[in-house]
Structure 1
């Protein structure tokens, strides 16, 4: 259970205690006081009822011929009076005691038989029955809260048991691996003594190799310096290539603008050609009308007819020329569109080229960083080589002591192997206990789920 849940539970208990203290301070009217009040009321109205009954008996006696006289009349009056008072007391008993007890019994029955903890006893008074109803409500509420807390805790326990099971599985696997490793260590310890003599010879060879490595590192350091110079030149070339690519981008944009202007000019020429074509059609129509009028004029209009014919031919030639102009403009428009597409493709390729160049520049920068790191590593390796040469003699002395230590390791690994086997068995028992705990929590959750709490 978490700290927040504990704080919430403590706050609820504190609020319930404060509520109970406030209820104790209230003025209650007990059941005995209510019954006493009922008896007093019955005694107060009893004389009135007696008087009414006596009057009724006297009237009945008159009508019945003085049949009810003396003790008989008194007994009848007393019996009726007792019946009325008893009825009042039964009504008070029904509404004050029996009905609230029945409601409380129903709530307890729902909680006991139907496992329903969501119902509450209605509290209509502050007497003993009201206190009993509040206590029952408090009991049912506390049970519901306890079941909710148990449910929450069981979920936490389930998660914990699952975690324990996973941990034990992992630990069991690790223990098996450790046992296997210990066996290998034991075998290695037994072989280590024989290999110690070979190690002495290997250490002497190691000194020669360290010297050779120092030479190789010096040569590598020179190569790294050459690579750094080449990388620097490459970065400069890439910067130049980026500038050229940006210039190509600018030129492509300018070419696109020029082609767009050419397209607009061609469109204007096409509109002007259409206007000329319309004028030619109108001129041809006017020439036709003039020829008709000249024919009507006869000999006097012959010269005018010749002029009209020439004008008509000129109009037809204008129509022919405008058609050719439109064809040329159409072809020019298509070529302009193709040029626009080509420029757009060129611009797109140029952008891709710029991106590629940027990527190459980034890679060169990464190479520069890698070369710097490599130079540092080579320097560290050189320093390490010097230290290794100094520590070679110390290692030789240590190896001579390994033979004795390997024998001790052999006995120690046997003890460690036995300890690991015991630990593995204990982990398996913990895993079985975790599985049992998980099953018990699941069973408890099934039982809790039968309760209705809201």
Structure 2
């Protein structure tokens, strides 16, 4: 039956894993069994404290009937004791309390519960309801005994829990002992089945490594596992070495004969190499000169490229300035158009004002004519008043009233004349001023018209300047594009020259390397001649070494 070593190791590992799993399962089972025991015992301790506390609260209630705080606390404790019995009997997963699985403990717990429900709970309720002193006396006399019965349950459960822990400890000791025994057995099997054959193979390799082994020997191994396969491969390896040693022995003999022929050929190659070396040195010097010329051309192209870059930077600055000038001319044209429009409005308003002044002058002349008529009327009235006075004086006493009226009319006529003369003087003065204003308005109007014509000329010139600035800006952009294209072409030229320079440099370096290689090769040929002698000697030594093996 063929059982592999890995299968044996797997079996051992599985056994160990089974032992470990068994230990873990047992420990986990023990943990599950004792898990909650501490909570159970602590819960009973809490119940004992509650009973003493309830007895104290009962005393407070009986001795001080109006102690509401004690009444409320006692009522709460009674409910909590009921809940505790419910949790202890049926279990409570939240509090990690499991139902009791021991019949004796369960019966004792039921006895404690029955005693609570039939004796202590009714007594506490009587105290709550009417402060019954007999119930208080019963509690005071029996509370210690009741707490002792709770302690008995706790002691019994503690012993039960210790028994579970002791059982788990014994199981763990048994598994540990079994593990140690199995470990010894498995270790002995590994030494017998794995280590001894490996040591034997190691000893055979050690003999062969010293160069004096018997290549006719083979290792015998009866098991058909990995070591058996290794033994088979080892025996095959020894057979191959035996064949190789035989081949080397024959080859070393032929090598000695070939070395003599190679030394003759090597001498001829050395002479040819010297000729090639001289030619390559000439090629290398020409490559160096070519590389220097290309480097000079690259330097010049880089200078031209740098100058083109400077020109483009200046063109960019000039383009910005032209752009600003163009924008300024556009803004100036807008302002000029605005001024022209405002000037047109000014001319129109000035003409209107001139027309108004002319109308005022005409109205003043009309007023002058009216005043002349008033003066004539006044003179006629004065003359009529004078005639009326003369006629009234002729009449005598009867014409005195008429004479007074005539005198008043004459005075009124004189006042009208005086007023008319004053108005006439004022009109003449204003008329002169209006005439002067009209002349000034004509002069201003003529100047504005002239300024309007000048502004039209300025607008025309401004349009020409703006047009010229646009043309210059477009031309400068075109020049910049040309410079950019020239710069890109120079970049391509420079890149091409760089490639040529790189190739020239590579050629120079390669030529120098080839020349150096040829010189090294010449030296190598000389070294080969020396090595041929060494190889010949090594062939003799190899035959001596191979002679030590038994094939």
Measured against the shorter chain, the TM-score band is 0.3 to 0.5
Which structure's CA Rg is the greater one? 2
TM-score between the two structures when normalised by the length of structure 1: 0.41
User: 1 or 2 for the larger relative contact order (CA 8 Å, sep ≥6)?
Assistant: 1
TM-score between the two structures when normalised by the length of structure 2: 0.35
